[in-house]
Amino acid sequence: MSQERIDEAITREYAAGFHTAIEADTLPPGLSEETVRFISARKNEPDWMLEWRLEALRAWQQMPEPQWAHVDFPKIDFQSISYFSRPKSMEERPKSLDEVDPELLATYAKLGIPLHEQEMLAGVAVDVVFDSVSVTTTFRQKLAEAGVLFCSISEAIQEYPDLVRKYLGTVVPRKDNYFAALNSAVFSDGSFVYIPKGVRCPMELSTYFRINEANTGQFERTLIVADEASHVSYLEGCTAPMRDENQLHAAVVELVALDDAEIKYSTVQNWYPGDAEGKGGIYNFVTKRGLAHRNSKIAWTQVETGSAITWKYPSCILRGDNSVGEFYSVALTNNRQQADTGTKMIHLGKNTRSTIISKGISAGHSSNAYRGLVRISPTASGARNYTQCDSLLIGDVSAAHTFPYIECKQPDAVIEHEATTSKVSEDQLYLCQQRGLDEEKAVSMIVNGFCKEVFRELPMEFAVEAGKLLEVSLEGAVG
Amino acid sequence: MLKIKELHANVDNKPILKGIDLEIKAGEVHAIMGPNGSGKSTLGHVLSGRPGYEVTAGSVEFLGKDLLAMDTEERAHLGLFLAFQYPVEIPGVSNMEFLKAAVDAVRESRELDALDTVTFMKQAREACSAVDLDQAFLKRGVNEGFSGGEKKRNELLQMILLQPTLCVMDETDSGLDIDALQVVAKGVNDLRNSERSFLLVTHYQRLLNFIEPDHVHVLSAGRIVRSGDKSLALELEDKGYGWLVDEVA
């Protein structure tokens, strides 16, 4: 491909990179006990919640920043970040979509999430988190009829305090890691889902996250509890405006699948990746973990194309006997992006099974690492794991790394690990072009083929979206 | 249809083609024969615009247009098809998806609407039976795990669906058993008409027993050293290439 076309592709703008002019109520930068008290007070939280946050903050202040990931970035000044921002018009929460600031709704329309339309057509219930505050939850009524609770975590703290108190921090403890502790102290909003016993959630649940304000960190907290023999499929999507400075996103997601329950959690992550020289972009430092009880199943599917740095390991603790954990991942990096992502499968129960399918695609000057842990504890007799890690390189200056950790303390466990590294070959491109396909279409087709095993795990409409997202992210990636 | 004049080309800065002159008229079948390393395959790749194959002199006119000025895909849009000697695999991309994308791309370049899926499927199934390939191959990854013979038949399948104007077949006969060879030959013969031309690159006269060429050329050290009718192929079968190469030298 010619240098011109590479240049053209590099200068292509990030499609979701607009900023919406909405008056915001933003806390000045800085992090102290006062900050935490302010956030908690603004949300009218009960005392136990404030105490919970403060303990997390104290723990965080004692913790060193982790250095082990295969990523490289300047030290973050946590005092220069604002920990709370919300659109001003949210002072009084809207009662229905009609009362939501039209500018906000227009933002989501730009992102391709026409809420009204989705209400009518898609059958997807959407919770939207804009900067720090959850703006609206569609379909509330219909879900309530099924007994499903789907609201922002702030509301849940007010309305379902017992449920929140019972499960919050049980899967990802406050002191779990540096960024989880930070999140526990300052989380501003996020989603809460509860599926009652035996209920199959009647629709896909979905959250869209958007960081709008400059210098704001986003710390959302998601808690999904699937009670016995229930079933839910949940999708999150993420975008941010283009900014020259880096923005921090440190989320925590906790999933609890009680006996015989099933949770499918899909992510299409397209945070702003920074420009071609690596200026700006989101630091995506996220802790996601699910706890699987007896006969339950947790499946993570992620398509990661955004963020300057991704540091993320959606994991499963397979505590209950016969529980199942799955991880399907496509991580694509281009330009100067860095990703260190993978999963942890912790086998505790008997006959627990896990599957890991990871597809890493590196283009430009990017670096893409898979880091995964499979741990079979002595109690996990009959445990089984299958891991497949494939890396695809595009161009000759990108990098792919694989760091698989396997700890097995149970002699009858079966663990399989397969790994491949390949390049989009000139011969493949030539074949496609000889048959009349242009280069971009050819690359996108080859990459989509490479990702097929993961895409087919996504809900149908998002599989299409993910394919398109890859196409956009890859434009001009071939040298 | 195709006029090659004084064509010189390098691969890795090494001259391979050293002045080729060849004219192919509509409806003709030309066979290019010659010893290993004579530049036969290079000629096919230069015509189709493979990256890294550098034309240093000469011209090629295809359907009245300057072929060498076009991108690889533009040449394909114009109706140039290359059946590969070693077709590559594209894992995960189904044959069907690939074929449809290729047919759509060619149609789009000619400002035709994309074929609807039902029509295309029907054509694809018919093409499968024409090349004696089970329809299950349409669902498999492009050439993924195909045997040598299956790959070659898959090339022919693509040729049938794309309906090219000029088919360059690069040693399509190599590695085929006699049955597969007959399938390929029948496929080619069925495609022959007054509008469509073929350039068959081959080592052996065997293929020409089944596909009767109008012209036979012998390529040696990057030049056409002898042209004739099909009897030339028989003569080569008898005497080998040595006498021609010596004669030229």
User: Is residue A5 over pLDDT 70?
Assistant: no
Chain B CB within 8 Å of residue A426 CB: yes
Global confidence as pTM: 0.79
What is the pairing mode between strands A191-195 and A149-152?
antiparallel
DSSP code for A173: -
A2, A5, A433, A443, best to mutate vs chain B, most B CBs in 10 Å = A433
User: Is residue A370 over pLDDT 80?
Assistant: yes
Q: Report residue A146: phi and psi, to 5°.
A: -85, -5
The predicted-structure confidence for B22-59, as pLDDT tens digits, reads as follows 999 999 999 999 888 899 999 999 999 999 999 999 99
| C-alpha distances out from residue B165 to A313, A457, B112, Å | 53, 42, 17
Cα angle B49-B55-B60, degrees, rounded to a multiple of 5: 70
Helix H, strand E, coil C: the string for chain B is CEEEEEEEEEECCEEEEEEEEEEECCCCEEEEECCCCCCHHHHHHHHHCCCCEEEEEEEEEECCEEHHHCCHHHHHHCCEEEECCCCCCEEEEEHHHHHHHHHHHHHHHCCCCCCCHHHHHHHHHHHHHHCCCCHHHHCCEECCCCCHHHHHHHHHHHHHHHCCCEEEEECCCCCCCHHHHHHHHHHHHHHCCCCCEEEEECCCCHHHHHCCCCEEEEEECCEEEEEECHHHHHHHHHHCCHHHHHHHC
Q: What is the pLDDT of residue B24?
A: 96
The predicted-structure confidence for A238-257, as pLDDT tens digits, reads as follows 665 555 666 788 899 999 99
Residue contact A446–B93, C-beta within 8 A = yes
* Mean pLDDT over each residue of chain A, to the nearest integer: 82
Distance CA A219, CA A43 (A): 15
List of chain B residues whose C-beta atoms are within 8 Å of the C-beta of residue A432: 90, 98, 102
Residue contact B72–A430, C-beta within 8 A = yes
Q: In chain B, which among 134-193 make CB contacts under 8 A with chain A? A: 141-142, 158, 162
User: Is residue B170 over pLDDT 90?
Assistant: yes
Q: What is the pLDDT of residue A10?
A: 40
Q: How confident is the model at residue A461 (pLDDT cuts 50, 70, 90)?
A: low
Q: Of the candidates B73, B84, B88, which has its C-beta nearest A433's C-beta? A: B73
Lowest mean pLDDT among A194-203, A208-217, B85-94, B127-136: A208-217
For the beta carbon of residue A7, count every other beta carbon within 10 angstroms: 12
Helices (H), A130-236: 140-146, 153-159, 161-167, 178-186
User: Is residue A2 over pLDDT 50?
Assistant: no
Distance CA B104, CA B98 (A): 10
The predicted-structure confidence for A373-421, as pLDDT tens digits, reads as follows 999 999 999 999 999 999 999 888 888 999 999 999 999 999 999 998 8
User: Is residue A337 over pLDDT 70?
Assistant: yes
Tell me how close the Cα of A427 comes to any Cα of chain B, in angstroms: 7
Lowest mean pLDDT among A62-66, A87-91, B155-159: A87-91
Size of chain A, expressed as the number of residues it contains: 479
User: Is residue A24 over pLDDT 60?
Assistant: no
Distance CA B156, CA B159 (A): 5
Q: Which amino acid, B203?
A: H
Residue contact B93–A435, C-beta within 8 A = no
Furthest CA-CA distance within chain B: 58
The predicted-structure confidence for B176-215, as pLDDT tens digits, reads as follows 888 888 888 999 999 999 999 999 998 888 889 899 999 9
State the complex-level ipTM.
Answer: 0.94
User: Is residue A439 over pLDDT 70?
Assistant: yes
